[in-house]
């Protein structure tokens, strides 16, 4: 005889475990119903930072709606969105203005065409601008959450980004409860917002471990316009495995930092480390696994695989960031074992993770990736050939300017050698030479501290440039010096290599029409 199974208790529905303030259950609706709340020309703030923790169902519903009935919005996020959302929202004409970051293939086509107005902003600054009335407040905030607490507070998922300020400033809030995000993420967040001026106090954070805020984002109940249930995962980060070049970069940098420890300018645990996003930064950090550092900490904006690998190896004691972005290799594993990292991890608003006050106080070691840099140490992080946006500046400026040590890494050439990453003059400046202490390529490391521009040039060319390009760079520099100056240049030649690339698909230092093609 078969026993009758009791029907599942309605209390087991995720709505009960995930929306613990039961008075809010009445606000649960479909994503399409929530998407109907948007109006043309609205300013929308969405969660999401480095493709982690973005709202997923509501943006997709908005795309469906925009495809049928065109609607345009200004979209502000933490940083990049996953699940192809930035591309989908741009392609359907939904997004007409976008800030403060992007790294999406499709969105950047619209940006470079001029059909999406993109404001590339230091990531710590966006919410300052909104709160001070210098940029319009969001009409609607859409925030992915693990849960809503008994008190009605929103628990973010894998990123905090700008969500807390969006919720505080928006007229309406849509919460997207992600039922596949591990409930155990709750407790990892530390939500803090500086008071509005002029009564702002110091931010009382003096080590990466300090908790200064609360666990979840408070919101007046009547602001919550909708709650949507979703079960979409974060996108996986696509990280290439370390290769010979990234291993060499990591080797140079590790050697340099060990020397600094030996000289006594850095302690054996270094200073809190910030590392940019992407394959090179991840590989560089992984190189620390084999070095004799001890008790490392991170004060960064994003934690990639390498942070968890270093924690597993006992090399990294603590990591503070605004998001967790993992590859397919690491995602399930870390999410299933989040409790194992609970005491060594905190996720903060990007305003705090990237805050000049804290970055300067901690003397952060900032490691960011350059698209190209020039012989004087100016760095281009964003623009291909001076005009076309690749990825936004992100937090690199927040960190590089205020860091105790500002390092930029890059491979020495791109496109199989057709492009040198070390150029006479960068075609776009994101970081000036004042903010760049150390440059590293697979060929070597240039320690620029205490050097005047002409000294920097000699060191950068000889330490970092690909050997094939050194003669042309040295020739440019020598001829520039005959004209004099603190930062000698031959302005009419400075961008000639780009023009050659435009013509021939190959940078070239010839001074006249050439047969390089």
Catalytic residues: 301
For β-strands 42-46 and 224-230, DSSP reports them as unpaired
Q: What is the DSSP letter of 431?
A: B
Nearer to a copy of itself, 67 or 449 (CB): 449
The CA–CA distances, whole Å, from 166 to 2, 14, 127, 184 equal 54, 25, 8, 24
| Short-list 479, 451, 474, CA closest to 464 | 474
Q: What number of H helices and E strands is found in the chain? A: 19, 25
Name residues contacting a copy of itself, limited to 202-241 (CB under 8 A). Answer: 202-204, 206-207
- Residues near 510 by beta carbon (within 8 Å), at least 6 away in sequence: 500, 516
Name residues contacting a copy of itself, limited to 293-322 (CB under 8 A). Answer: none
Quickly list DSSP for 385-410. TTTEE-S--TTHHHHHHH-SEEEEE-
The CA–CA distances, whole Å, from 450 to 73, 405, 434, 455 equal 47, 13, 11, 9
Q: Which stretch binds a copy of itself (CB under 8 A): 33-41, 126-134, 164-172, 466-474?
A: 126-134
The CA–CA distances, whole Å, from 469 to 427, 446, 451 equal 17, 16, 22
Entry field: residues in the chain: 517
Nearer to a copy of itself, 170 or 224 (CB): 170
Name residues contacting a copy of itself, limited to 262-281 (CB under 8 A). Answer: 263-265, 267, 271
Q: Which residue has the tokens 């990123």?
A: 159
Minimum CB–partner distance for residue 173 and a copy of itself (Å): 22
- Residues near 347 by beta carbon (within 8 Å), at least 6 away in sequence: 156, 158, 159, 160, 188, 189, 190, 320, 321, 322, 323, 324
Nearer to a copy of itself, 168 or 451 (CB): 451
Minimum CB–partner distance for residue 190 and a copy of itself (Å): 17
| Short-list 295, 302, 503, CA closest to 418 | 503
Among 37, 357, 504, 516, binds a copy of itself (CB under 8 A): 357
Site string for a copy of itself, 69-98 (x = CB under 8 A): ----------------------------x-
Site string for a copy of itself, 93-122 (x = CB under 8 A): ----x-------------xxxx--xxxxxx
Among 8, 10, 467, 484, binds a copy of itself (CB under 8 A): 484
Nearer to a copy of itself, 17 or 136 (CB): 136
Among 70, 449, 468, 505, binds a copy of itself (CB under 8 A): 449
Among 258, 494, 504, 506, binds a copy of itself (CB under 8 A): 494
Site string for a copy of itself, 245-264 (x = CB under 8 A): ------------------xx
Name residues contacting a copy of itself, limited to 367-406 (CB under 8 A). Answer: 378, 382-383, 385-389, 393, 397, 401-402, 404-405
């Amino acid at each position: 005889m078969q026993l009758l199974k009791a029907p599942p208790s309605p209390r087991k529905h995720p709505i009960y475990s995930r929306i613990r303030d039961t008075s809010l259950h009445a606000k649960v609706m479909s994503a399409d119903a929530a998407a109907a709340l948007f109006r043309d020309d609205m300013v929308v703030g969405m969660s999401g930072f480095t493709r982690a923790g973005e709202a997923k169902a509501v943006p997709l519903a908005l795309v469906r709606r925009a495809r049928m009935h065109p609607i345009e919005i200004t979209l502000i996020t933490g940083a990049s969105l996953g699940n192809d959302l930035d591309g989908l929202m741009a392609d359907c004409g939904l997004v007409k203005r976008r800030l403060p970051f992007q790294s999406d293939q499709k969105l950047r086509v619209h940006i470079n065409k001029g059909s999406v107005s993109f404001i590339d902003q230091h990531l710590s600054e966006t919410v300052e601008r909104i709160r001070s009335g210098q940029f319009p407040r969001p009409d609607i905030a859409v925030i992915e959450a693990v849960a809503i607490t008994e008190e009605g507070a929103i628990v973010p998922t894998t990123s905090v980004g700008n969500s807390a300020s969006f919720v505080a400033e928006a007229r309406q809030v849509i919460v997207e409860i992600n039922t596949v995000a591990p409930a155990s993420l709750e407790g990892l967040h530390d939500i803090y917002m500086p008071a509005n001026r002029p009564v702002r106090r110091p931010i009382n954070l003096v080590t990466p471990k300090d908790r200064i805020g609360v666990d979840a984002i408070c919101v007046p109940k009547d602001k919550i316009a909708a709650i949507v249930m979703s079960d979409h995962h974060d996108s996986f980060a696509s990280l290439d495995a370390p290769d010979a070049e990234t291993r060499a970069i990591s080797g140079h940098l590790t050697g340099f930092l060990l020397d600094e420890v030996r000289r006594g300018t850095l302690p054996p645990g270094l200073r809190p480390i910030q590392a940019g996003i992407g394959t090179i930064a991840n590989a560089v950090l992984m190189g620390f696994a084999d070095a004799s550092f001890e008790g490392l900490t991170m004060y960064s904006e994003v934690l990639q695989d390498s942070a968890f690998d270093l924690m597993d190896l006992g090399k990294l004691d603590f990591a503070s960031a605004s998001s967790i972005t993992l590859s397919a290799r690491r995602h399930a594993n870390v999410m299933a074992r989040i409790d194992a990292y609970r005491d060594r991890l905190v996720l903060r608003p990007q305003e705090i993770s990237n805050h000049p006050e804290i970055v300067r106080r901690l003397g952060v070691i900032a490691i960011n990736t350059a698209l190209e840099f020039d012989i004087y140490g100016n760095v281009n992080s964003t623009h291909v050939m001076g005009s076309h946006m690749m990825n936004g500046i992100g937090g690199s400026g927040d960190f590089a300017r205020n860091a105790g040590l500002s390092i930029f890494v890059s491979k020495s050439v791109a496109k199989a050698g057709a492009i040198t990453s070390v150029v006479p003059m960068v075609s776009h400046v994101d970081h000036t030479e004042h903010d760049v202490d150390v440059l590293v390529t697979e060929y070597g490391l240039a320690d620029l501290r205490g050097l005047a521009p002409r000294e920097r040039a000699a060191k950068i060319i000889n330490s970092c440039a690909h050997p094939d390009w050194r003669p042309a760079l040295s020739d440019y520099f020598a001829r520039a010096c005959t004209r004099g100056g603190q930062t000698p240049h031959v302005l009419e030649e400075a961008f000639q290599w780009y023009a050659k690339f435009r013509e021939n698909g190959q940078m070239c230092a010839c001074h006249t029409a050439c047969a390089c093609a």
